[in-house]
A and B are shown apart, each in its own frame.
Chain A
């Protein structure tokens, strides 16, 4: 039987209970012993064989003391687990405890420092490291060599080729930064390149590149004439303009020796400086050819093209109002209110009208034909003139540029606009916006001053539209004569205002001021230039003007934001000369202040200036306003007619007869009764001068007509031939013709039946 757990004492006693009579064999020894249960199994033979068995195994279990680990630990002196790296454990088969070394240590736990660290790395069986093992007290570490990652254990991940995540992230970030930097650098260079390409493209186009390119593509087909090379070809030929290829150096450029791909040797000159005159010439010629090409393609003739271009112009006005008003502010210190009313809004309404009416305008007009040409039908077809030039002025640089352009487009022409160089900001804005929004193959802007204009005028145009002064108008006309180009001249002149008595003086004064000073400080072609009134009414009128001026511009008009400045110092000096003229000294009844730094001149009224004063002998085009007096208001008509015909004439009156007389007898581009300037906003009225104030008219349908040719078209059938038309001529035929052409039916019949 087995010894039960927690047994303290085991006693073995041997006894015999029976007689031995029934014993078959007998061994006189009795055995009693302790042995391992599994080591001895009792059987019959054991009785006889046992005497030969000398030893049987037995394991003796033991513990320290009777306490539990916990209890023992309290008594440090008797606590058996002396070694630091030992631990106490309790057996389950009785009291007391035992000690053993902690995992990773071996030795005697009952001695101080008895437990020693096991070096697992020395014994391959103890560690499962794949590559490298590192021993640590109590345990070990598997390490992966450089270039590997993982836990290093054979039964774990092992060591894998590659970097650790941290390393990866770090590398990633630094790589990322480098990449970003690189990307930015690349982007910059691409942008730079793009800019360069764009610039090259602009210059290419401006210098007639389109034409060159066309020629290049056609190079194979036309072996004659000059050969064209691309810059790449030239670069290749000169080994990228290498110094070794330099043959000579001149004032205008460097000459290189070049080898063409077909082994021809050529001299290549690389220009150093560009002669602006030549550039202009080249620009113009290249541009003209492009425009002619576009026009010849028939693109501009279509209704759709005209409409898209007009819409694009509207878009310019809508989307860039701020940009435009700012440009006008910087050129002329024009208040945005004035800019909107007189420039943007008017241009927009022109555009809108054209969009609405264009279909109607383009329709051929049927006409009646006569008996002579019977049977026939006639019509008038409006066709575009071709490539047109618009030269505009600086005082309304936006409106006066785009209004004629609208006309040219509605009529289906290609057009070049040359804005005035005196208003450079608006010129630049126009050039930019038209370049962005319009079909640049047919609508172009050329910026520049006199040399550019001269170069432009040398070209052959199909129509020139000029707004400006009579002096340049003459030059334009003379230049146009060379090519028989029809011209429209919108000039100015001294536009008079006649003020009669018995009118609503306050309203008249306000309207005069709005026209004179409210329109760009008198720098408008239709501005009132001088005023004529009767002697007895003059002082009342001056008072009214003075008080309304103060309402409009305050006590110090030089400080008013609402008053435009003089465009430049040249014009400022011209105007101050008019003011300083001896003949008008003492005639200034209001204003006269000037601010040279800001180019401002206050609204100035001069009363009774002499006819030979400077101010009465040129167009004033500024805020000076001479007042002349007559005894009878009717005398004003003669006074006006004694001068060159003005662009407009204004009359303020309630007298019907005077109105009638004024309208009949005063010759001017336009007449306006009881207001100023507004006739130019009315599209059903032609706007244009007569005599010194110009020729030709525009606005609304008149703009369309100004840029159209009215082609007469006559259709006949093959029937209805009159023999009398043809030779040999006889008296009978003559008689017949006479009757026919006179519409004399009786005579016709008589001629026919031979009377």
Chain B
């Protein structure tokens, strides 16, 4: 323990020193580091796949799509494609405005600009469900904004954690970017330090701990949490319904076996559509993942025994067990749980109050699809709401009346790779946002700069004050230049004790 403290302390001092030196501020440094990340991913693809397979039983295609791809993709397009042209622009004085028009006369002449500057030394907590991309993605943001970084990968994905700890120093600037491995004890020690930003991906419970710890040092925090993300399935038919079911199956079981923060948690559907939906889902599961728990393919396992048992416990509730319409079997040895469908489990059961984070999909039936809005609003704000509908007014209604990190119409999960959109939660699903330019902003401070010259002084700014000065300022603030002129010419009655009515 002592050793950890000392190491953390030493690391941090070094990082702070290097930040002070201005080493990380230059455009070239940032570009080099981003290119290095690209290279890291490209050259170690197989190793990444293997680590992911060991930690989560992820298939390479899934791993590619969700893990390397996202970091690769974001690195590719954000880091190089975007950053080579955008980064200088981001870094430059973002909003230079020459202030002449609608501005208090007091400020004339002046020039205002907003200059993004790095925050300093930042700490990134990655989570275990996408152990590579959720570590590299925020890292890209922190680097592009010019910070020095400590990344703490999740100890629940040990293979990926050790891979990162081993490989990152080989590719990236070791003086400014460090990986610290360890469990909750190390995390605790890290949190005792003063950081300039903490970026956390994980559960709301740990999120609270992180935020309380950050309060001590007034450290700003970005929390990427999860929540029960619902699907609203409007009455679709024919091929539309088939596409929807495919996308639901892909989103639910295809993304780390439901162990994703934006993963689908439950489905809201009209009563009459439920039987059709269940049948289509069953068919889809069979073609996608195979029939028996022993022959399952292309699906992740549960990350560890604790989580495996947690999910199994959710299913053990008698009310929940009775609602199973498909699956429900598991392979304890390989920590595999069969894709499982529940029809109308009791709403007060744990499975409907906790984030499931596993391959179990409850279907909740409603009389009318509009009731889904009330259903969602009665629960904490989710990270995402997925809506399958062709009804324009319903779309608008969902947008206006619900609150969530994001809303996706007619698809699942893909918002994660759309870097034009901010990715982040609201309420219980966290706060702060990243991806693309938003990552850069998250790790930057927008410094306001106003430049004035020495000429043109307005006497009424200064004491001793009198009625003339007050009236002058009043008119100047109201942009009432005609009266102002009259006042200056002495043609306007001075302020006595006029009350504006």
Contacts and interface: CB of A to CB of B under 8 A. Distances in A.
A interface secondary structure, majority: mixed
Given A367-B420, A510-B462, A709 B426 contact: yes
Contacts of A553: 463-464
B392 to A, nearest CB: 11
Given A481-B208, A737-B61, A743-B77, A726 B288 contact: yes
A712 B61 contact: no
Contact of B450 (A345, A368, A507, A682): A682
Contact of A336 (B214, B446, B470): B470
B128 to A, nearest CB: 20
A386 to B, nearest CB: 7
A484 B208 contact: yes
Interface in A693-743: 694-697, 709-719, 721, 724-730, 733-734, 737-738, 741-743
A369 B406 CA distance: 15
Nearest to A336: B470
A562 B463 contact: yes
Of A336, A553, A641, most B-chain CB atoms within 10 Å:
A336
A714 B415 contact: yes
Contacts of B207: 484
A686 B448 CA distance: 6
Interface stretch (B100-108, B162-170, B312-320): B100-108
B453 interface: yes
A670 B212 CA distance: 27
Interface in A332-364: 335-338, 340-341, 345, 348-349
Interface string A734-755: 1001100111000000000000
Nearest to B464: A562
A674 interface: yes
Interface residues of B, number: 115
B477 interface: yes
B60 interface: yes
A504 interface: yes
Nearest to A518: B463
Interface stretch (B27-35, B302-310, B397-405): B397-405
Nearest to B208: A481
A675 B449 CA distance: 11
Nearest to B93: A663
A419 B69 CA distance: 50
A696 B446 CA distance: 9
Contacts of A671: 447-450
B72 interface: yes
B216 A711 contact: no
A572 interface: no
B464 A554 contact: yes
Interface string B455-485: 1010001111100011001100100000000
B254 A726 contact: yes
A552 interface: yes
Interface string B128-149: 0000000000000000000000
Interface stretch (A316-324, A388-396, A592-600): A316-324
B422 interface: yes
B347 interface: no
A715 B465 contact: no
B250 to A, nearest CB: 5
A715 B415 CA distance: 10
Contacts of A728: 287-290, 297-298
B1 interface: no
A713 B406 contact: yes
Interface residues of A, number: 113
A716 B465 contact: no
Interface stretch (B111-119, B177-185, B272-280): B111-119
Nearest to A483: B208
B62 interface: yes
Interface string B483-501: 0000000000000010111
Contacts of A322: 497, 499
B47 interface: no
A670 B448 contact: yes
Contacts of A681: 104, 106-107
Interface stretch (A78-86, A171-179, A278-286, A374-382): A374-382
B450 A729 contact: no
Nearest to A557: B463
B65 interface: yes
Interface in B57-75: 59-62, 64-65, 69, 72-73
Contacts of A484: 204, 207-208, 211, 223, 225, 427-428, 430-431
A675 B244 contact: no
A665 B377 CA distance: 47
B218 A695 contact: yes
A208 B420 CA distance: 44
B69 to A, nearest CB: 5
A713 B399 contact: yes
Nearest to A728: B298
Q: Which of B22, B97, B209, B399 has the most CB of A within 10 A?
A: B399
B208 A482 contact: yes
A477 B218 contact: yes
Contacts of B289: 727-728
B283 interface: no
A296 B209 CA distance: 29
B6 interface: no
Nearest to A463: B431
Interface in A454-479: 462, 470, 473-475, 477-478
B208 A552 contact: no
A28 B212 CA distance: 171
Nearest to B445: A690
A750 to B, nearest CB: 17
A24 to B, nearest CB: 129
A370 B288 contact: no
A560 interface: yes
B240 interface: yes
A610 interface: no
Contacts of A341: 473, 477
A668 interface: yes
Contacts of B418: 367, 369-370, 373, 376, 378, 712, 714
B427 A682 contact: no
A715 B107 contact: no
A385 interface: yes
Contact of B449 (A336, A372, A670): A670
Which of B114, B404, B424, B462 is most buried by chain A, counting CB atoms within 10 A of its CB? B462
B470 to A, nearest CB: 5
A680 to B, nearest CB: 9
A692 B417 contact: no
B13 interface: no
Given A484-B223, A678-B110, A690-B445, A716 B462 contact: no
A489 B451 contact: no
A451 interface: no
A659 interface: yes
B355 interface: no
A501 B451 CA distance: 18
A513 B463 CA distance: 9
Nearest to B216: A474
B110 A514 contact: no
Contact of A741 (B69, B400, B497): B69
Interface in B241-271: 243-244, 246-247, 249-250, 254
A188 interface: no
25 contacts: A345-B473, A370-B420, A376-B414, A462-B427, A477-B218, A484-B225, A510-B457, A510-B461, A514-B461, A641-B20, A672-B449, A672-B452, A679-B450, A691-B196, A696-B220, A709-B405, A709-B426, A710-B433, A711-B406, A713-B421, A714-B407, A714-B408, A715-B410, A726-B288, A733-B61
Closest 4 CB pairs of A and B: A727-B298, A481-B211, A367-B420, A729-B61
Given A663-B115, A673-B451, A716-B411, 8 more contacts: A373-B414, A474-B215, A474-B218, A672-B451, A674-B452, A691-B196, A728-B289, A741-B417
